[in-house]
Every structure is written in C-alpha cells, then in structure tokens.
Structure 1
Amino acid sequence: MSSWRDRVTSALPRLAVASHDLVMVWLCWQVLHRLRYAMLPESPDFPLWSNEVAIVLLGQGMVFWWMGLYRGLWRFASLPDLWNLLKASALGSLAVVAGLFFYNRFGSVPRAVLGLYPFVLIGFLGLPRLVYRAWKDNQANRSHEAASRVLILGAGRAGEALVRELRRTGIYYPVAFLDDAVRLHGSKLQGVPVLGGLESAAAIARETAAKLLVIAMPSLDAPAMQRVVAICESTGLPFRMVPRLVNVLEGQSMPGDLKEVAIEDLLGRKSVMPDWKLIRGWLGGRTVLVTGAGGSIGSELCRQCARHGAQRIALLEIDELALITIQGDLQRAFPDLEILPVLGNCGDPAVIAHALRISEPDAVFHAAAYKQVPLLEQHLREAIGNNVLATETVARACRETGVATFVLISTDKAVDPVNVLGATKRLAEMTCQALDDGRASTRYVTVRFGNVLDSAGSVVPLFREQIRKGGPVTVTDPEVTRYFMTIPEASQLILQAAAGAAHASIYTLDMGEPVPIRLLAEQMIRLAGKQPGRDIAIVYTGLRPGEKLHENLFHVDERYRPTSHSKIMQAEAREVSPEFIELALQRLRGAFVRYDTAELQEVLRVAVPDFKPLIREEDANGASANIVVFPAREARKTR
C-alpha cells in the first residue's frame, strides 16, 4: 500500500505540470482564434471545446510526453529547457497540422492561427516556468540574512555553477566574485558582481562582510594554488574549495560540495588519466588476490579493482581489524562483488596455498610489507622475513599454481639502497626477476614509487596529529625532501603498469618534483589556520637511523624507456643469477630460523651489492649527535 501511495505522490507534480501545459495549449488556441476573428466585421462565436481542440490537445500532448518535457523541474528551468520547449512546440505544430489535415483538410482553422501557433505557445509555456524560477530564486535571496556571506575566488564556469548551487541550498549567500581577468571586472555573473582581482581579497572581504572564501578554480596547478591559498590565509577568514572533477568521478566528493583545501591540492600532483579501457579489459570478470589488503595501498587497490571490473577479490591480511574494515567497505560500495577474506600471514606457505586454492586468482598484488625505515634498522630479521622471504613464498606459490600475473609493490628506496627497507625490497625485486626465468607462465611485474600521502605511518597524519595537539611539529632536517603521490594515483598507475606489462619488468612511477618536508609541515600548519613559528613551532630532530636527505627514483645502471603512459617508465632490469639468488635465500631462511642477525646482515650485503648502509657519527664515535655521513663510493659507468 505504501509503495502505491509513494508512486502516486511522486507522479502528482508531473501530472500537475502536464495539466498546466495542456491548459496553456487550449488557452493559446483560444486566444489565437479570438484575435483572428476579432479582425472581422462580424466575429463568429468560437466554441470552448470542439473536435479541432481535442485534436490539438491530443497531438501536442503526445509530443510533450515523447520529448520528455516532464523530467525536469521548474525550479531549475534554464536555457536548455526553453530550447526543449521550442522543439516541442515546433514538432507539436506539425502533429496538429497533420491531425487537422486528415480530419477536415483545415476546413475550419485559419492559416494565420497555424502559422502563429508554435511561437505564441512558447511564450505561454515558458513564461510561467521563468516566473516560477524567479520567484523561488527571490525567496532564496530574501533569506540570505540568515546565510553565510561567501566571497568566490574565480569567475569561471566552476564559479558560475557554484553560485547556482549556493542559491539552491540557501545556506550560503554569494556576495561577490574575484578574478584576475581584468576584462571581467565590473561585470556580473548570475547577478553577482566581479569586484576585482584576487590580491584584493582582504579588502573586498571586509567591504562585503564576507564570512567565508571559496576557491572555485579546480584546475589550478600547484604554484597557482599555493598563491591563492596564501591570499586566503592573509584574510584571516576560513576558506574552502570546489572539488576537482576527478574527485567527484571517483566518489570522493559530491557535486556542489565544498571541501577543505588538502595538502595534496598544494603539492602539484596533476590528475592521472590511466588507460581505463586497457585496465578494464585486463580486469573485467577476473579474480585478483591482494596481500596486505587492509593497508593504505592494498585497500585502495581492492577498491580500484572492484571499480574497474574485477568479479572476485581475495583479501589476505594478518591484521583482523584491517581485514574486517576493508571487507565491510567493499561490501557496502560493491554489493555484487564476491569477496573472499583470508586472515593470516602471507609468509606462511599453508596460508598462501589456501588463499590461492579458494580464489584461483588471475592476478596477485603483493602489497604486504614492513615499510618504517628507522624501525626496520633495529629489526633486521623481521624486515627480511616479511619483505624478502614472504615475497619469495607468495611469488613461488603463484608460479606453482599458474597465476597469470604477480605484481610486487616496491619502493624508490630500492634504488641505491642505504637502509634495511631499501635493501630488502631490492632483494625482493631480484627474487621475482630470478623466478621469471622464461620457463614460468607467470608474469612477474615490479612497480616502484615513493611516499604516498596520508598513508599509515607517513608524515602527513603525524603532522596533522601534532598540529591538532598544538605542536610542535617535528621535522628531521631542514633540507630533507621526499617524493609524494596520492594513494588513488599510485594504485591507478600500478594497475596501468600491470595491465600492459612484460615478463620480468620493473616500472618506476613518475613522482613529479621532490617536496621539502619543511615546506610540507609549514603548509599543513597554515591549512589548519595557524602560523608556523608563531602558533605552531617546527622542531628539527635530525635524521633518524637509515634515513638520507634525498631519495633517488632512477638507478645509474638501469636504462629507462617511456611506456604508453607518460607517468610510467620501464627500467631495463640488471642481470640476476637465479642460482645465486636461490643460495642467498637458503642462507637467509636458515639464519632467520636461528635468529642470527649477523649472518642475515652479511648475506643481505652480499646479495645486494648496491646496499651501502649509512654510517652515523654516534655509531662510529660514540657521540650522541644524529648526523648522517654518506660513505664514499666509486663512480659507476653507465651502460
């Protein structure tokens, strides 16, 4: 009963509009006839209803319905709606002419009426719609006293659409635009004046009594966005921004939302446009298994795979809370997706064999790893166990079961490694390369990239928490830099690389320009409405064990060539001896069982010739200063 009532209730507005339009058609027909007959000396009586009137209403009404005239709302009537009215009137007049011709060959209808009918009908139909919209807009404008006054930066398409949305909600009242285009100054957009350039934001905000600034320039690059944010900060007012189109398409924001300016908006990462056709062709209808599925990269890989056609996803995770969290997220977002959660350690051969048996995946993404540089310097055994031996266990099991593609998520720290994380990840790369010896059907693909913004354990959530507590924000060194990209961007490029990868291939993602961590901290403090050094202190603590000032993306002995995607480079892998790698893994397994860290360290250094551990002065001299000294090394010759 309730569903029947709901259908009737939802149909009433359309029936009311349809009835209105038919009344307007009848009225238009009556007015045109009476005006035509008024020109005669003796005006005949024109009936209010006749067969001709019925034909007109029937023909015009059918055209209205066929044109979908009742799918829109009067509240949002605009030029496209008027264009639809014009087409409906023109086509309706043809239907009326055809109907009257077959009825009585126009025996009782003046030709002048037929000629004027479509043009007059547009006015009868369009005027009430525009009056209704103007009345609703006027109501919204009259309620602006209770709404927050908004100053909009950017008088382009995004700004124009923003004004429409703000007026519809009634929560905010747009008072003015600012734009650097001088030709726009003094003009009006949707009735809102453009009062000047962006640099005058502080003065105009005071004059207009604005309470909020909104940046309506979603396509700005990093330097321009940093400038605009600095202008907003100078006003002392809160500010928001219109979300980027890619955020709306990925479901991270809703159209019309106002979002806080995030640190990724200031770092210059341009939107990634992968080859979705290639990715969907590779993933569509297939099964994938993700190790470390509850982590930052692992969970986003699961979402991206589900979004782009995977039929079944196996989630392998050792952390029960992380596993149940990503399982719940996927179930809510993708109710038709088949999800196979597996709780366990991917380094356990029985666990990975069970996961592969129940899922029978076409591709395995190995995202499980230990990644915290200072911690791993003190836990060599666990780093080798998780980053090397577990990788070998998963990769070998994929080969034995005939998995089509194995993707290793690596790191830029594997290039010229100076710490345990980099060395273990480099050895994991070499292990995969050794397994892909030409006899295996499995493609082994390695993807390297740097830090991801807002990942668990990264500096962004650490800085955010320190700022929330009032500081200080701790930075290791004033000169330290790192490469950054967003989690969705990294995951999308991983899929792009894996979809078109060759056997034993190593890919490096274009990370853009390195970001000074000091600048990152200062920007995050400003985004929180504070001033660095005044409201929130920045303290430099010195580089931690295993850390260096700058990371490298490319190895001097690896040649790199572009791929079909501009942000992915393929490395020419260095030669690896499968026998040598197998011997090293055997020694590591034995030393791992015995907890022999000395042998683990020795084997790691021999297996990874590029591994040059950093020497700290406090280790060499017993001093307490935390200063990193890079050892001298011989210059290499490029091939």
Structure 2
Amino acid sequence: MVNVFKIKELRYIPRWLVFFIDISIVSFSVLTTYLFLINLHVKINFTEYSNEKIFVVILVNVLFMLLFKTYAGIIRYSTFFDFFRILWSSGSTLLVLLGLSYISHVTLGKPVYLYPALFLFFFISVFLMFFFRMVTKKIYKVFMGAGNGFSGLRVAVAGVEDESVSVANAIIHSPGHAYRLAGFFSARSDSKKAMLLGHKVYNKKELLKNDHLASRFDAVLIRETMSRPKMEEWINLALDKGLKVLKASDISKVTEEGLVGSIRPLQIEDLLERRPIKIESEEVKSTHSGKSILITGGAGSIGSEIVRQVARLGASLIVVVDQAESPLYELKLELLEKFPGQNFKFVLADISNHYRLESLFEQYRFSTVYHAAAYKHVPLIEDNPHEAIFVNIGGTKNLALLSKQYNVDCFVMVSTDKAVNPTNVMGASKRAAELFVQSLQNSPGNITKFITTRFGNVLGSNGSVIPHFKKQIEKGGPVTITHPDIIRYFMTIPEACELVLQAGTMGKGGEIYVFDMGKPVKILDLAKRMIKLSGYTPDVDIKIEFIGLRPGEKLYEELLTDNSTTIPTHHEKIMISRDPLMEFEDIEILCKQIMRSAIKKDSLQVVKILKVIVPEFISNNSEFEILDKTPEHEVCQ
C-alpha cells in the first residue's frame, strides 16, 4: 500500500488541495449547524434566502482563509501555530457574520443569522479543520513507520529543553533517515510520568539502576550546544550502558529539514578534555591577501589544512610543495574543485634539494613560507636516522637560508612537542631544526621573521593513533597500546593550522609558540572510549593488548624544555617558550658535520653529533642509549 500511494515520495500535500479540503470542511460545518437547528426545532430567520446565507458564510470564510493563509503550512509539521491561523480566520469570519446579524437585527427587526448558530458553526469548523491536520499528520507518521518497517536506530534524545524537542520533532517528521525516536532522557526528578511528542520521558536515575530499560534504545542523541559537564554526563551514561552516542548540530545553524542530516556519530574531537579553540584575526587575512605563499609538506595532514585555510584568505598565489606524488595529485583535484578562483601551483619536489627550491624562490618571490614538511614517524626514523638529517635538518636549513636570501617577510616552521627533551632521533632532529631557524633571526643582513610553532599530537593526522585504533576496531581487534600509563596531548588539525597562521602575525621573530592544549589524555582511556563509541565492550568484544614502548618513545610529552621560560601573549591560549639558543656560526658547523655523516649513512656518528647539538637528547629504549653512557662525545671534525 505504501508503494502504491508513494507516501514516502510525497513531500507535502499540495496547497490547493488543503484549501479545497478546508472549504469542504466549512461547507460541512454550515450544513451540520443547520441540521442541529432543524433537529432542535429552532425557528430559522429568512428561510427563503437559505442558499444565499450559506453562500455568504462560505465566501466570508474563504476570504479570511486566503488572508491568513490557513492552507500554507505543511500538514505533517502542523503545530499550534497552524491552529492559531485557523482561529484567526474563523474568528474573523465569526465577527463579520455577527456584525451582519446585528445590522439586520437593528434595521429589519431580526438577525439574518441566529447568534448561537454562529458560535456553533465557529466551534465545529475550527475543530474539524484542526482535527483534519492532526489526523493527516498521524497517518503520515504511521505510513512512514510502516514503510521503514520501524527500522533504524532507536534514539533517545537527551534533555527536554526546547532544542531537544525540536531535534526530536525533526526525527519524527523527516523521511528517509536512519533514526527512530524512542523517548527522552532527563535528569529532572519530576519527569517520571511525563510524555513529550507521544513518547515517554525516562529519568536518568531509572536508567542507571535498570539495565533492561537501557535495552529499549540503541543510541543517545546529545546536542552540540549542551554545556560540557552535561554532555560528559550523557556520554558516560551512554557508554556505560552500551549505547551509541549521536550528536546534533546547533539548530540555529540549520533548517528543521536539514537538522536530521546534521546528526552524526560522536567524533574523537568531542572526547577532548577542552572545547576546541578558534582563533580569528583580521590581521591573518591582511597578511595573506594578495600575497605569494609557499607551503611545504602541503599534501600532508597539517600542510593540506594550511593550504585550505590560506586559500580562504585571498592569496594571489599558493605554491604547494611535496615529494609524495599521489597525495599531491589528490590534493590538487580537491583544491581546484573547492577553490576554482584561487591560483595554485603544485610542485613535486624534495626539500633536501637546494637547487630545486631556489628556482621556486627566484620565480615566485614568496611573502610567507609555511614549512610543514618533515619525517615524523618515531620508530622508522630511529631505524633510519640519516633520513631525518636530510629532510628535517637539511631541508629546513635550505628553506630557512633561502627565505633569508630572498627577503621573505615571514618563515613559520611547524615543530612538535617531541622536540622537547627528546628521547628519539625524530624529536632531536626537529629540535636541531628549531635551533637553526632561531639562529638566523639575529644573523647579519636578515629581515625575515623566523617563527616556530610547537604542538602535540594531531587528531586524525596520517599515522596518528586515532586512525590506527579505528582500523584495529573495524577488524575486530585487538587494539594495541604500547604502555598502560602512556599519555599524550591532543589537538584537532584545524586548531593546529590556525595556530600556525596566527603565529605568523603575532611574532616579531625568533619565538617558539606553544599552545595551551588542556589536559593530557591517557591513551588507554581513549582506546576504551573509542571501543565503546563503536558499540563494543573493551576486553570482551575488542581486546586491548600492551606491546611495550617502541624505540625512542616516552610515556609523556612536554611542550616546554626544563630551561625555558613561558611568556604570555595577548591570546590566553598561546604562549612563547624562551628556549636556549645557539649562535648561527656554531650550529652551521655542526649541521655541516652531521650532513657529512648522514651522507656516509654512519648512524652512530649521526646520533653522536645530534646529541652535541641537542644536549638534552637522552635516548630511550633504543640502540643509541650506549652513547649516553660515554663521558664525552667524540665528534669528527
């Protein structure tokens, strides 16, 4: 039957049909009123003009229906707003007819319409028009439920506030989605017997005590605008009861019809112990507008997001450099479609190739350089330290020197918290790069601002723990963690890139900017919550295994060195770290030495020199720990 009438495809009843039905209801109400009067043996005035009187009643009603647009609402979304439209229309009709009756009563001695009859007609017509809308709304709901076979996730909406009710209403009336409203959850103690939109409101205490009650639902829906404590309460309750967690957008940002489409599973970003920080600045826009910008590592997680954000700022040219061919090509296709008016240049190049880079600086005369290219995987770099020297140190050196040579306004280097008190080659190589970049700030003839940004792990970046855990969960486990006590700071990719862009405008040169990343997250807790969000029980459905710390890995990361001092900025979430510096001549000599050792692939000598450049570099769980036991590092000159 559903397929025959195509209820699912019918978005709304045509307005002309609603108007015609309303006229029919008015006509029926008039006849019903007359029938009442006849059966009660009430004497009717001017019976010889009965047809004309009926015509006037219907005509006046139709005129006010057109005026108040009683037919304009979509029936399945009928509310008391539509009821008030009907009241205004029928009430105005009643007043006009009462006026006509009074005039005829004064002039002719008797009213053309009996006063009680007019009030009876008013109540019958109002009731029937609103009843028609409510019945149609209910029938639509029943047919939609039958069409879906009452399938879909059984969703409980958290909260009974107006926004929660609006979200629930959208779920009820929006066709073709994967959700079915099953009730409301409330922390209020007076909600035990309450009903909303025909569904029961369940008290939070009942849910905590009764596991069978929770089995009536598949998911809990929270709102984006909920306070953080409330959101955490409902997330914890849902995960403890084995329910999925969904999140609805702010209703002020979407239409009611689009509200259901905005519902999504809870993201890992929502599990951060802080709200994402947005940095907005007109200065950022003016710095990039009409300028030529270079972004290295542009096809990576951080680099590609920097490209997207810069593309919104009106740069005259964005040159994207990366040595990964396929990711660079995919990014090119995406950006050309998303930003058709932006001038891009996509360059396949290795930043360790000085001559290739110099041709770009010579041709495009960059105003700003964002340096995000780097090797970052700790275990791989620990096994191949010479490669980190070529790219992380040598590539950075090439870009920084060329920026100085070609008078680039601002050079911003993307660094990592692993550069602080490093325990691995990757972190030490990034710290060495930081030292080289900083050393150029006060070098003779320099006019470029050299700035470094340092932050922790980025959610969703290539090779990070989050996508790794997701893949392991999708395969049914186990989820592997190096150590039960390991902790990390996390931030989102957009946040990281906003910091990079903001730093370019805030800095005077030579600074290392660090971000207030909130509380560190215990990786074991993160893994458990990810497993629960996927609808599984940790160590029952999905096993968690501890595999031991990898070479060079430490239990916790730091954003500041022991010898650094923190200086606040005008933004409360951004600080400046004043780390120990090196003179350009000193680090230039050491960089040349380490490059020669890297060319020879002499790993031990490479790490030896690296420990001279970065004295706080103490290897952990690595073959290079032997170097830390030597009283003095013998460095080849």
| TM-score normalised by structure 1 residue count | 0.74
**2:512, 2:332 → 1: CA distance?**
30
**2:78, 2:16 → 1: CA distance?**
16
Distance change >3 Å, CA 80–CA 441, structure 1 → 2: farther
Q: 1:143 is aligned with what amino acid? A: M
Alignment counterpart, residue 390 of structure 1, candidates 381, 390, 395: 395
**1:581, 1:215 → 2: CA distance?**
56
* Aligned counterpart, 1:569: 575
Q: 1:576 is aligned with what amino acid? A: M
- SS of 2:261's equivalent in the other structure is coil
Alignment counterpart, residue 158 of structure 2, candidates 145, 154, 160: 154
* Aligned counterpart, 2:299: 294
- What is the 5 A alignment of 1:95-174? 132=133, 135-136=136-137, 138-145=139-146, 146-148=149-151, 150-157=154-161, 158-170=163-175, 171-174=178-181
- SS of 2:264's equivalent in the other structure is coil
* Aligned counterpart, 1:102: none
Tell me the CA shift for residue 14 of structure 1.
9.8
- SS of 2:369's equivalent in the other structure is strand
Tell me the CA shift for residue 327 of structure 1.
1.5
Distance change >3 Å, CA 230–CA 290, structure 1 → 2: same
Contact 2:318 2:344 (8 Å CA) reproduced: yes
* Aligned counterpart, 2:372: 367
**2:133, 2:283 → 1: CA distance?**
48
Task: List runs of 5+ in structure 1 lacking aligned partners.
Answer: 1-11, 28-37, 90-120, 622-628, 633-639
Q: Deviations over 1:436-487 (max 9, x none)?
A: 2274332222110111122211222222222333332222112111111122
Q: 2:370 is aligned with what amino acid? A: F
Q: 2:478 is aligned with what amino acid? A: P
Q: 2:185 is aligned with what amino acid? A: L
Contact 1:199 1:231 (8 Å CA) reproduced: no
Q: 1:150 is aligned with what amino acid? A: R
Tell me the CA shift for residue 131 of structure 1.
5.7
The alignment status of 1:334 with 2:339, answered yes or no, reads yes
Contact 1:615 1:630 (8 Å CA) reproduced: no
Q: Deviations over 1:269-317 (max 9, x none)?
A: 3122212544334334444322111111112222222345445422211
- SS of 2:400's equivalent in the other structure is helix
**1:358, 1:180 → 2: CA distance?**
64
- What is the 5 A alignment of 1:24-35? none
**1:630, 1:189 → 2: CA distance?**
71
* Aligned counterpart, 1:537: 543
**1:125, 1:292 → 2: CA distance?**
68
Tell me the CA shift for residue 71 of structure 1.
10
Q: 2:159 is aligned with what amino acid? A: A
Tell me the CA shift for residue 367 of structure 1.
0.9
Alignment counterpart, residue 461 of structure 1, candidates 453, 464, 467: 467
Contact 1:242 1:256 (8 Å CA) reproduced: no
The alignment status of 1:402 with 2:407, answered yes or no, reads yes
| TM-score normalised by structure 2 residue count | 0.74
Contact 1:445 1:505 (8 Å CA) reproduced: yes
Tell me the CA shift for residue 507 of structure 1.
0.5
The alignment status of 1:349 with 2:354, answered yes or no, reads yes
> What is the aligned-residue identity percentage?
31
* Aligned counterpart, 2:194: 187
Tell me the CA shift for residue 264 of structure 1.
2.9
Task: List runs of 5+ in structure 2 lacking aligned partners.
Answer: 1-11, 28-43, 91-121, 632-637
**2:549, 2:247 → 1: CA distance?**
38
- What is the 5 A alignment of 1:536-615? 536-614=542-620
Q: Deviations over 1:242-289 (max 9, x none)?
A: 24559989xxx9763332233332232312221254433433444432
* Aligned counterpart, 2:97: none
Contact 1:151 1:212 (8 Å CA) reproduced: yes
Distance change >3 Å, CA 582–CA 39, structure 1 → 2: farther
**1:325, 1:126 → 2: CA distance?**
61
**1:245, 1:428 → 2: CA distance?**
43
What is the number of residues matched between the two proteins? Answer: 571
Distance change >3 Å, CA 247–CA 163, structure 1 → 2: closer
Distance change >3 Å, CA 618–CA 526, structure 1 → 2: farther
**1:280, 1:465 → 2: CA distance?**
38
Alignment counterpart, residue 494 of structure 2, candidates 488, 493, 501: 488
Tell me the CA shift for residue 349 of structure 1.
1.8
Tell me the CA shift for residue 178 of structure 1.
0.7
* Aligned counterpart, 1:178: 185
**2:401, 2:517 → 1: CA distance?**
30
Distance change >3 Å, CA 172–CA 524, structure 1 → 2: closer
* Aligned counterpart, 1:92: none
The alignment status of 1:415 with 2:416, answered yes or no, reads no
Contact 2:416 2:427 (8 Å CA) reproduced: yes
Between 1 and 2, higher relative CO (CA 8 Å, sep ≥ 6) is seen in: 2
Q: Deviations over 1:127-161 (max 9, x none)?
A: 97996577345412453352346342412454223
The alignment status of 1:263 with 2:264, answered yes or no, reads no
Higher Cα radius of gyration: 2
Alignment counterpart, residue 324 of structure 1, candidates 329, 337, 347: 329
**1:494, 1:64 → 2: CA distance?**
56
Q: Deviations over 1:110-135 (max 9, x none)?
A: xxxxxxxxxxx9x9999979965773
**1:447, 1:432 → 2: CA distance?**
12
Q: Deviations over 1:296-341 (max 9, x none)?
A: 1112222222345445422211111110111122223223222211
Tell me the CA shift for residue 489 of structure 1.
2.1
Q: Deviations over 1:196-220 (max 9, x none)?
A: 126516848x569735223224355
Distance change >3 Å, CA 567–CA 247, structure 1 → 2: farther
**1:309, 1:359 → 2: CA distance?**
16
**2:79, 2:341 → 1: CA distance?**
38
Contact 1:240 1:260 (8 Å CA) reproduced: yes
Per mean C-alpha deviation after superposition, the further-off stretch among 305-314 and 324-333 is 305-314
Q: 1:294 is aligned with what amino acid? A: A
* Aligned counterpart, 1:280: 285
Q: 2:348 is aligned with what amino acid? A: L
Q: 2:392 is aligned with what amino acid? A: N
Tell me the CA shift for residue 617 of structure 1.
9.1
**1:269, 1:532 → 2: CA distance?**
24
* Aligned counterpart, 2:41: none
Contact 2:68 2:85 (8 Å CA) reproduced: no
**2:326, 2:72 → 1: CA distance?**
46
Q: Deviations over 1:65-116 (max 9, x none)?
A: 9xxx999866556678899999999xxxxxxxxxxxxxxxxxxxxxxxxxxx
Distance change >3 Å, CA 322–CA 460, structure 1 → 2: same
Contact 2:251 2:259 (8 Å CA) reproduced: no
Contact 1:162 1:216 (8 Å CA) reproduced: no
* Aligned counterpart, 2:203: 196
The alignment status of 1:212 with 2:218, answered yes or no, reads yes
Per mean C-alpha deviation after superposition, the further-off stretch among 575-584 and 434-443 is 434-443
Q: 1:239 is aligned with what amino acid? A: K
Contact 1:291 1:298 (8 Å CA) reproduced: yes
**1:247, 1:499 → 2: CA distance?**
32
Tell me the CA shift for residue 179 of structure 1.
1.2
Contact 2:460 2:467 (8 Å CA) reproduced: yes
Contact 1:201 1:232 (8 Å CA) reproduced: no
Distance change >3 Å, CA 268–CA 48, structure 1 → 2: same
Contact 1:215 1:240 (8 Å CA) reproduced: yes
Query: Aligned-pair RMSD on alpha carbons?
Result: 4.8
The alignment status of 1:501 with 2:507, answered yes or no, reads yes
Tell me the CA shift for residue 353 of structure 1.
2.7
Alignment counterpart, residue 476 of structure 1, candidates 466, 478, 482: 482
